[in-house]
Amino acid sequence: MSVDQKMDSGRRTLLLATSAAGGVAAVATAVPFVASLTPSERAKAAGAPVEVDVGKLAPGEMMTVEWRGKPVWILRRTEDMLASLDKAEDKVSDPSSDKPMQPAYAKNKHRSIKPEFLVAVGICTHLGCSPSEKFKPGAEGGMSADWPGGFLCPCHGSMFDLAGRVYKSMPAPDNLEIPPHQYLADTTILVGEDGKA
């Protein structure tokens, strides 16, 4: 073996060792970088579905839960509240819920899977205020005599019926948003994840 061949063999060994060390260093650097791109546990929890027990919610009562930083209302409607939805058909701007503010399974007059329970994001579609509950009909609820019950946004006066449908000629352009949700049991709702209706 000549001196030149020994030198090439030594260079080749040095080149392979250097390349292997560089590859290991690149992988060691890339792993923490790629791991930093995954969402944190806090971020995962912020968008995670919320399980809600509505078993203790009496007819006519509403509870609020938080999902993705937004208030989500769950209203257990009475028979009178459900009957008021028919009376509001000609007064609301989108009675058939044609605008995509709800999942397909909630595109009905009561805008819910089960007529008894309304699940809606409690943020006005005008400027993002939170409407107040005005469930009592007429002057008893502090509204006009023909008020059937619903929600009132105090900021600019947008009114919504008990299905979250906005009344005509209101500042709010759309109905209240219906979040994806499903029933895990008769009295357990999972807000934030679609299921089979």
Query: Could you tell me if 102 and 178 are in contact, meaning their C-beta atoms sit under 8 angstroms apart?
Result: yes
**Residue-level pLDDT at 197:** 45
End-to-end CA gap in the chain = 80
Spatial neighbors of 31 by CB under 8 A, at least 6 apart, are: none
Query: Could you tell me if 97 and 120 are in contact, meaning their C-beta atoms sit under 8 angstroms apart?
Result: no
**Residue-level pLDDT at 156:** 85
**Residue-level pLDDT at 113:** 92
Question: Any idea which architecture 49-191 has in CATH?
Answer: 3-layer Sandwich (2.102)
**Residue-level pLDDT at 196:** 55
**Residue-level pLDDT at 2:** 65
Half-sphere exposure for 26 (CA within 13 Å, toward CB)? 6
Token pair in block for residue 76: 């257990």
Domain range annotation of the chain:
7-38, 49-191
Per-residue pLDDT of the chain (197 residues; tens, 9 = 90+): 566 666 677 777 877 788 888 888 887 777 776 666 666 666 555 678 889 999 999 999 999 999 888 999 999 999 999 998 888 888 888 888 888 888 888 888 889 999 999 999 998 888 878 888 887 877 777 778 787 888 888 888 898 999 989 988 899 888 999 999 999 999 999 998 887 54
Closest residue by Cα to residue 102 from 93, 91, 110, 111: 111
Spatial neighbors of 52 by CB under 8 A, at least 6 apart, are: 63, 65, 74, 188, 189, 190, 191
